[in-house]
Amino acid sequence: MNSGYYRDIFTKAAKDPIAAVNFAKRVLKNGYYDRKYERYRRREGISLQYDTVHELVNNEEFVLVILDSCRYDYFRDEYPAYLSGDLSQVWSAGNRTPKWTPNLWTESYDLTYLSTMSYPTTKAAYRKKRITFDPYETFENVIRIDGHDDPLLSNTPPEIVTDIALQYFASVDPDPIRAVLHYSLPHRPYVGATKILPWRVDVASALSVFEEHRSDDDVPSEELSNRETVFGEELLEYDVTEAEFEEMDAERYEVRQRIDDGHLSDDELRVAYRDNLRAVLAEVTRLVGYLDCPVVISADHGEHLGEHSDELPRYNHPNRTHPVLREVPWFEVGPESKGNEALSSLEKLPELVPDENREPTAEAVDKRLRALGYR
């Protein structure tokens, strides 16, 4: 239990009693949905992810791949184009990563956890949460995959995640691999074939930076002349560099606000989500080609893409139980998709494995969580 969380709650309640009452109402309503959908889970006979994970980690070797925010129904539709194996449905241990992590990993585990996400691999991510979690006491080894984020994409590309994981697996070969690999996709930002990036930039600011760094022929003055704002994904079309982007007066512009402002539809959001899933499945396919141990693909939680606004208060993964947030895949990769390449062939990969078991600064964690929409 995090005492600082409760102090913060009481301080806010004293300053804004109306907000405190609304908070209490949300807590009560969330409890109602917890009970409602636990009855649904039992009625549908959906297994608990907690049980299936703990059965898996009892194996001598395994790799558990976590796709952040991956819904069961989308995975069911997409995986046949990439992998063969057996798919079933499980009930996630939480509807958001900060709940899922301590709810699922309740013991000490002789395994390595590699992750682009902060909640499973840092203590600092829980500074402002009701509960606490210590990855260094929970997992034998922790590898944070960070420092590779593109500032505009606000994410670590999945191919880098795969490269780091393969480099680590090659370093322990031929010893048994016992690992969890946590990709950030299909979680937003949407960086697949259809991109939705969480930024908007005033056109005057963008043009000013372009004019400073580019020749006149390379400044898109005509294309932007009738615009007031340029969105993050549009900057990619203009081949914006990291240096240019950092000089622009970029403002965070999240999915819900874009939809409310009429700049994005639910259908467009769902296409981008599906493309994010396809992008990470392509990388998981490459990964498992080097593995001959048991490999399972699952997710920490699902994603709300606007279909259930009568029960869910917002997009993404709000703090409320619902099947679109708790029904996730449990996919056992078949032998046809595994072990087609030898880990020894990866010896020429660059050394990408970062320092292990080292806690980042609170500021670095906050920056990472903001990029993913958690702050």
pLDDT of residue 192 exceeding 50, the answer is: yes
Q: State which of 113-117, 172-176, 205-209, 326-330 shows the largest mean pLDDT.
A: 326-330
User: Stretch 95-110: mean pLDDT, rounded?
Assistant: 96
Whether the Cβ atoms of residue 82 and residue 313 lie closer than 8 Å to each other: no
Tell me the DSSP string of 122-172: -SGGGTTSSS---HHHHEEEEEE--S--BTTTTB--HHHHHHHHHHHHHHH
- DSSP track, 327-361: EEEEEEE-GGGS-SS-GGGGTTS------BS-PPP
Residue 339 Ramachandran class (φ > 0 left, ψ -120 to 50 alpha, else beta): left
Tokens read off for 341:
């390449």
Which residues are CB-neighbours of 342 under 8 A, at least 6 positions away?
290
Position with higher pLDDT, 7 vs 29: 29
Closest-CA residue to 111 (of 59, 147, 184, 158): 59
CA angle 289, 291, 297 (to 5 degrees): 85
Q: Using 50, 70 and 90 to split pLDDT, how confident is the model at 221?
A: confident
Beta bridge partners of 142: 113
In this prediction, residue 127 carries a pLDDT of: 78
Residue 343 pLDDT exceeds 70? yes
**DSSP letter, residue 58:** T
Whether the pLDDT of residue 209 is over 80: the answer is yes
Alpha carbons 297 and 15: distance in angstroms, whole number: 45
Give the model's pLDDT for residue 202. Answer: 94
- Residue 364 confidence (pLDDT): 55
More confident residue, 127 or 112: 112
Cα separation, 266 vs 242, whole angstroms: 30
Residue 179 has which token pair? 């690992």
35/23: higher pLDDT: 35
Mean pLDDT of 312-333: 92
- Assign 280 a pLDDT band (cuts: 50, 70, 90): very high
Q: How does residue 79 score in pLDDT terms, banded at 50, 70 and 90? A: very high
Res 183: pLDDT: 98
Classify strands 85-91 and 327-333 as parallel, antiparallel or unpaired. Answer: antiparallel
Q: State mean pLDDT over 293-310.
A: 96
Q: With 50 as the cut, is the pLDDT of residue 369 above it?
A: no
- Mean pLDDT within 115-129: 85
Cα–Cα distance measured from residue 161 to residue 166, given in angstroms and rounded to the nearest whole number: 9
User: Which residues, 6+ apart, have CB-to-CB distance to 135 below 8 Å?
Assistant: 113, 120, 121, 122, 123, 142
Distance CA 284, CA 274 (A): 15
Averaged pLDDT score across all residues of the chain: 88
Interval 273-288 mean pLDDT: 98
- Give the model's confidence band at 118: pLDDT under 50 very low, under 70 low, under 90 confident, else very high: confident
Looking at residue 365, its pLDDT comes to 46
Q: What's 277-332 look like in SS3?
A: HHHHHHHHHHHHCCCCCCEEEECCCCCECCCCCCCCCCCECCCCCCHHHHEEEEEE
